[in-house]
């Protein structure tokens, strides 16, 4: 006979695993003015979670339980795990808003073939802020709820010292060759669009406190979602899917131009981006892939005719906000699974583009370009695409990623420059 695994040991309520005991209380919004400032210094980068934009969102710390999965059913297994533990949970929720009560943060691997695990984490403490509302959720596996968590500003993160950067899987030149090869295949009629990414290793003198990165990312890129889940940290401008009480929205980005820092010149560049047939084509593939995937789950869907230009500090993107009313019981994670990978990070047609990516990039994307975000017990949640990010592989080192959509009109050197611009948020946050 084998001894029972920790999961089989009966919990205090006689269930096969200890039930989650979850309590959400309302707190004065003034107490959570600075969400990121409440994060305690983590022993490990994976000990904190963040999903913050313009001072609103969610932060959390401590880990009550984690689920990890790999392969083509990674989304379905994560979904099933969450459904089971939330069905068993004992909940007292005084706020009852999206993001209150039981909550999991997640980060899913880009590829079914990835060696990297997808993960859902349930933190011990989550602090949320939205509009005038603020709340604290504590989760335990004890039969009694945790004591109220005092919310106090925490010591500031330390500087990681000098950071060095080095091309990782492919050198810039080899990556430029891969872009040229992709353009040749597109011109040969093999496929319409493919997104190719490259990676850079960042190594610091001292350990890199993820709060150091989050604080700086939020200052410089306040229109992005600044995230941290299980050691994946970044600032994404792209919302793959938000589900709130039956309304689904998605912000699709594709088509990029670098900013110069000169406002009037940048305005002229924004105009040329909005008229660029190469960028409009690249954008249209991405919007189509999202709209097609959402159509299967919605009774009505609104897709604007033309994109707007989203201004970030480093780049400008063509952007389209798609919205719809969900007419099935899909959770936000299930919707993310059906939208992933969109043509913003993969290409058109999807299966062919995925094969070209595996062949030409010569790296495992890990959780880069996969869905990252959170979900509550009702299935409402927000899942961005993990872009402008890095993944810890040691306390003082991260692997950074950036990718570019390649279409018939793409030029390798322009794409290299675009990837450099997309690496800038993480490089600057690191202090490079």
Ligand X SMILES: C=C(O[C@@H]1C=C(C(=O)O)C=C[C@H]1O)C(=O)O
Q: Which residues are at the interface with ligand X (CB under 6 A)?
A: 195, 197, 238, 253-256, 317, 344-345, 387-388, 401-405, 422
Cα 152 to chain center, whole Å? 27
Query: Parallel, antiparallel, or unpaired: how do β-strands 90-93 and 21-26 relate?
Result: parallel
Structure tokens at 398: 């991260």
For ligand X, give the closer residue by CB, 207 or 355: 355
Residue of 97, 117, 124, 193 marked active site: 193
The DSSP-derived string for 216-265 is: HHHHH-TTSEEEEETTEEEEE--EEEEEETTEEEEEEEEEEEE--S-HHH
**Catalytic pick among 97, 124, 238, 284:** 238
The answer to whether 54 is a known catalytic residue is no
Residue with the two structure tokens 């600075």: 34
Distance (Å, rounded) from C-alpha 356 to C-alpha 46? 32
Of 61 and 175, nearer to ligand X (C-beta) is: 175
Residue 197's contacts (CB-CB under 8 Å, 6 or more residues apart) are 357, 361, 363, 365, 368, 369, 401, 402, 403, 404, 419
Q: Which is nearer to ligand X, 102 or 255 (CB)?
A: 255
What is the smallest separation between the CB atom of 274 and ligand X, expressed in angstroms? 13
**Residue that is written with structure tokens 């969400």 in the block:** 35
d(CA 117, CA 113): 10
| Identity of the residue, 58 or 194, whose beta carbon is nearer to ligand X in the bound complex | 194
- Measured from the CB of residue 353, what is the shortest distance to ligand X in angstroms? 12
Rounded-to-integer distance, Cα 193 and Cα 215, Å: 35
Cα(106)–Cα(165) distance, rounded to whole angstroms?
28
Provide, rounded to whole angstroms, the least separation between the CB of residue 284 and ligand X.
12
Shortest distance in whole angstroms from residue 55 CB to ligand X: 24
**Kind and range of the H or E element at 416?**
helix 412-430
- 132: which residues sit within 8 A by CB, 6+ positions away? 29
Q: Is 193 a catalytic residue?
A: yes
C-beta of 64 vs 197, nearer to ligand X: 197
Query: Considering the complex, what minimum distance in angstroms separates the CB of residue 27 from ligand X?
Result: 35
Work out the end-to-end distance of the chain between its first and last CA atoms, rounded to an integer number of angstroms: 56
CB of 368 to ligand X, least distance (A): 7
Nearer to ligand X, 192 or 380 (CB): 192
Separation of alpha carbons 98 and 95, rounded Å: 9
**Which residue is listed with tokens 């989203």?**
310
Minimum distance of ligand X from residue 263's CB (angstroms): 22
Please state, as a whole number, how many other Cβ atoms lie within 10 Å of the Cβ of residue 104. Answer: 29
Comparing CB distances to ligand X, the nearer of 130 and 427 is 427
List residues with catalytic annotation: 193, 238
């Amino acid at each position: 006979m084998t001894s029972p695994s920790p999961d089989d040991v009966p919990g205090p309520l006689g269930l096969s695993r200890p039930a989650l005991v979850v309590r959400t209380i309302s707190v004065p919004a003034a107490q959570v003015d600075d969400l990121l400032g409440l994060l305690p210094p983590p022993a490990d980068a994976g000990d904190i979670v963040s999903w913050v934009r313009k001072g609103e969102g969610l932060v959390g710390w401590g880990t009550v339980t984690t689920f990890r999965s790999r392969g083509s059913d990674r989304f379905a297994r994560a979904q099933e795990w969450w459904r089971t533990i939330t069905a068993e949970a004992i909940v007292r929720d005084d706020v009852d808003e999206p993001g209150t009560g039981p909550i999991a943060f997640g980060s899913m691997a880009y590829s079914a073939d990835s060696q990297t695990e997808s993960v859902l984490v349930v933190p011990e403490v989550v602090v949320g802020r939205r509009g005038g509302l603020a709340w604290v959720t504590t989760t335990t596996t004890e039969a009694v709820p945790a004591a109220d968590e005092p919310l106090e500003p925490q010591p500031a993160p330390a500087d990681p010292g000098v950071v060095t950067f080095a091309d990782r899987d492919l050198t810039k030149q080899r990556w430029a060759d891969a872009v040229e090869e992709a353009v040749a295949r597109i011109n040969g009629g093999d496929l319409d669009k493919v997104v190719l990414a490259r990676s850079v290793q960042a190594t610091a003198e001292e350990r890199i406190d993820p709060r150091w990165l989050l604080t700086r990312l939020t200052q410089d890129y306040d229109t992005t979602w600044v995230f941290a889940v299980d050691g994946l940290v970044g600032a994404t401008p792209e919302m793959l899917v938000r589900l709130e009480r039956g309304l689904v929205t998605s912000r699709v980005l594709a088509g990029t131009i670098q900013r110069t820092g000169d406002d009037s010149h940048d305005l002229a560049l924004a105009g040329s981006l909005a008229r660029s047939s190469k960028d409009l084509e690249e954008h249209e593939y991405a919007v189509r892939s999202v709209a097609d995937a959402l159509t299967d789950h919605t009774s009505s869907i609104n897709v604007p005719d033309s994109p707007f230009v989203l201004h970030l500090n480093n780049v400008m993107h063509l952007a389209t906000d798609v919205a719809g009313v969900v007419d099935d019981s899909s959770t936000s994670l299930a919707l993310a699974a059906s939208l992933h990978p969109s043509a913003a990070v993969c290409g058109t047609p999807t299966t062919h583009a995925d094969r070209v990516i595996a062949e030409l990039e010569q790296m495992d994307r890990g959780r880069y370009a996969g869905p990252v975000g959170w979900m509550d017990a009702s299935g409402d949640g927000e899942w961005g695409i993990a872009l402008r990010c890095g993944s810890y592989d040691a306390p003082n080192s991260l692997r950074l990623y950036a990718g570019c959509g390649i279409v018939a009109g793409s030029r390798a050197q322009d794409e290299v420059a675009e990837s450099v611009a997309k690496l800038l948020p993480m490089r600057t946050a690191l202090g490079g």
